[in-house]
Amino acid sequence: MASFTVRYEELTSSNKNSNDQDYLGHLVCEWGSPSSSSALNYYTIERQLGDKEWLPIGEKINKSHNQIELDISSLLSNDNNENVPSRFRVKAYLNNGKTFTSEPTDEMNIALITEQRFIKPDVEILSANSVQLTWTDDENRKATIYEIEKKEPKEIEWKKVRKVLRTQGSARIDDLIDAQQSQFRLVPSTSDKLTKSGETYSMNSFV
C-alpha cells in the first residue's frame, strides 16, 4: 500500500534560487505508487474546499513522478473565502480506465499557514491615496528584514513596495489608487528568510 503526504515548506530545492518573488512557500505532495503501478497512466492532485466537490488542480502528473509542489499564492487567489479549510488527495489513473484514490488529508487552513509567515500591520488612512502602516516589533520572529506588499482593489496578486527593518515599526505608503480599499502585509525578505518547514499534515494509503 502506498502513502500520500502533504506538508508546508517555505523554501524547496526547486525554487531556492528563484526570482519569481513568491514568498508564501509551497505545499509539497508526495506519494508512492499503487500496487498496479505497471499499468499506470498518470496522476492528478485533487482539492476539496469545505464540503464542496473534489476538483483537480494543476496539470496531469507523469507516472514516473511521486512528488509535486503546489504554489500557495495560486491556491489562495482561487479561494472565494480564504477561511474555508482545504483537503487534498492524489488520484492514480490506469491505462484500463480504472482509478485509485488516496484517503484525503486532514483539513488545513492555507490562509492560517501563510499568516504565520507575515505581519498584518495596523493601517491609518492619511488621504485617499496614502496610508501610514505601523507594526509591533516581535522579538520572537527570526526575520529582521521585511518586504512591504500591497494588494489594491481588483488586484489578485500581492505587489512589493519596499524593504523595511522589522524594528522600524512604521512606514508611509503613497500613490495608492484607493487607500481605503487597499490591503497590506509584511513578508520576510529572501535576504533574511525564516526557516520554518516540514510539518506533515497526514499520511494515508491508497484504497
Ranking 10-19, 122-131, 195-204 by mean pLDDT, the lowest is 195-204
pLDDT beyond 80 at 193: no
Least confident window among 11-25, 59-73, 137-151, 159-173: 11-25
Mapped onto helix, strand or coil, the DSSP state of residue 97 is coil
Contacts of 56 by beta carbon, 8 Å cutoff, 6+ apart: 44, 45, 46, 47, 91
DSSP line for the chain:
--EEEEEEESS-TTTTT--S---S-EEEEEE---TTGGGEEEEEEEEEETTS--EEEEEEEETT--EEEEEHHHHHHT-SSTTS-EEEEEEEEETTS-EEEBPPPPPB-HHHHHHTTSB--EEEE-SSS-EEEE----TT-S--EEEEEEE-TT--S-EEEEEEEGGG-EEEE---S-TTT-EEEEEE-GGG-------EEEEEEB-
Each residue's pLDDT tens digit, 31-87: 987 666 668 899 999 999 888 999 999 899 999 999 999 888 778 765 555 568 899
pLDDT value for 171: 94
**Predicted confidence band at 138 (pLDDT cuts at 50, 70, 90)?**
low
Residue 21 pLDDT > 60, yes or no? no
Average pLDDT over residues 87-98: 92
| 162 or 198, higher pLDDT | 162
CB 34 within 8 A of CB 207: no
CA-based nearest residue to 192, from 146, 153, 150, 134: 146
Top CATH class, 3-113:
mainly beta
CB distance 135 to 129 below 8 Å: no
pTM exceeding 0.85: no
Domain boundaries, the chain: 3-113, 118-192
Instruction: Give percent above pLDDT 90 in the chain.
Output: 34
Question: Under CATH, what is the fold of the domain 118-192?
Answer: Immunoglobulin-like (2.60.40)
The rounded mean pLDDT for the chain is: 78
Same fold, 3-113 and 118-192: yes
Mean pLDDT score, 121-150: 83
Owner of C-alpha cell 487552513:
109
